[in-house]
Amino acid sequence: MSERRGFDEILRSRDFVVTFELVPGRSTRTRHYRHIIRFAEEVASKGLFDALSITDNAGGHPALAPEALGRELRRMGHHPIIHFSCKDKNRNMIESDLLALDREGLHTLLVLTGDYPRYGYRGRAKPVFDLDSVSLLRMVSEMRRGFRLSPEVPGGGVELPPIPFFPGCVVNPFKWSEAETLLQYWKLVRKVRAGARFVITQVGFCVRKFQELLFFLREEGLRIPVLAGILVLDIRLARILHRGVVPGITISTELLREVEKESQDPDRGREAALDRAAKLMAICRGLGFQGVHICGAPLDVEAAHELLERSREYLPRWQEFLPQFRDHPRGAFFLYEEDRETGLNRPRRMPLTPKTRRGILYPFMELAHRVFFSSRSPLFPYLRRWADKLAHSALEKYFLHLEYALKKVLFDCQECGDCVLPQMAYLCPQSQCAKFLLNGPCGGSRDGWCEVYPGKRRCVYVRIYERLKPEKRPYYLRDLELPPRDWALFRTSSWLNFYQGKTPRSTEPPEG
Ligand code: SF4
DSSP string, 436-496: --SSS--S--BTTB-SSSTTTSB-HHHHHHHHHGGGT-GGGGGT--PPPP-GGGTTS-HHH
CA–centroid distance, 429 to ligand 1, in Å, is 9
Ligand 1 pocket: which of 175, 183, 190, 435 to mutate (most atoms within 8 A of CB): 435
What pLDDT is stored for residue 1 in this prediction?
A: 42
Rg (CA), the chain: 24
In a domain, 373, yes or no: yes
What pLDDT is stored for residue 512 in this prediction?
A: 46
Residue 327 near residue 252 (C-beta atoms within 8 A):
yes
Residues 112, 117, 119, CA angle at the centre, nearest 5°?
140
Residue 261 near residue 323 (C-beta atoms within 8 A):
no
What pLDDT is stored for residue 511 in this prediction?
A: 54
With a cut of 70, list the residues of the chain below it in pLDDT. 1-4, 354-355, 472, 504-512
pTM above 0.85, yes or no: yes
Question: Which residue's alpha carbon is nearest to atom 7 within ligand 1?
Answer: 450
Ligand 1 pocket: which of 187, 202, 449, 461 to mutate (most atoms within 8 A of CB): 461
What pLDDT is stored for residue 2 in this prediction?
A: 44
CA–centroid distance, 451 to ligand 1, in Å, is 6
Q: How far apart are the first and last CA of the chain?
A: 47
Q: Reduced to 3 states, what is the DSSP secondary structure of residue 142? A: helix
Give one DSSP letter per residue of 92-105, joined into a string.
HHHHHHHHHHHHHT
* Domain assignment of residue 429, given as a range: 362-499
* Cα–Cα nearest to 39, from 29, 49, 276: 49
Report DSSP state, residue 387.
H
For 421-464, what is each residue's pLDDT tens digit? 989 999 999 999 999 999 999 999 999 999 999 999 999 999 99
Residues 11, 319, 265, CA angle at the centre, nearest 5°?
95
Q: Reduced to 3 states, what is the DSSP secondary structure of residue 304? A: helix
What pLDDT is stored for residue 119 in this prediction?
A: 85
What pLDDT is stored for residue 509 in this prediction?
A: 54
Question: Which residue's alpha carbon is nearest to atom 4 within ligand 1?
Answer: 433
Give how many domains the chain has, as a whole number: 1
In a domain, 427, yes or no: yes
In a domain, 438, yes or no: yes
State the Cα–Cα distance between residues 86 and 90, nearest whole angstrom. 8
In a domain, 258, yes or no: no
What pLDDT is stored for residue 478 in this prediction?
A: 87
CA–centroid distance, 447 to ligand 1, in Å, is 12
Residue 86 near residue 115 (C-beta atoms within 8 A):
no
Question: Which residue's alpha carbon is nearest to atom 3 within ligand 1?
Answer: 441
CA–centroid distance, 163 to ligand 1, in Å, is 31
* Cα–Cα nearest to 53, from 108, 10, 99: 108
> For 274, how many CA atoms within 13 A lie in the half-sphere containing its CB?
19
State the Cα–Cα distance between residues 481 and 421, nearest whole angstrom. 14
In a domain, 462, yes or no: yes
Question: Which residue's alpha carbon is nearest to atom 2 within ligand 1?
Answer: 459
Q: Reduced to 3 states, what is the DSSP secondary structure of residue 446? A: strand
CA–centroid distance, 463 to ligand 1, in Å, is 11
CA–centroid distance, 148 to ligand 1, in Å, is 33
Q: Reduced to 3 states, what is the DSSP secondary structure of residue 321? A: helix
What pLDDT is stored for residue 354 in this prediction?
A: 67
In a domain, 332, yes or no: no
In a domain, 283, yes or no: no
State the Cα–Cα distance between residues 177 and 294, nearest whole angstrom. 26
State the Cα–Cα distance between residues 140 and 209, nearest whole angstrom. 29
What pLDDT is stored for residue 154 in this prediction?
A: 84
In a domain, 85, yes or no: no
Cβ-based neighbours of 378, under 8 Å, separated by 6 or more: none
State the Cα–Cα distance between residues 372 and 492, nearest whole angstrom. 18
* Cα–Cα nearest to 403, from 394, 392, 414: 414
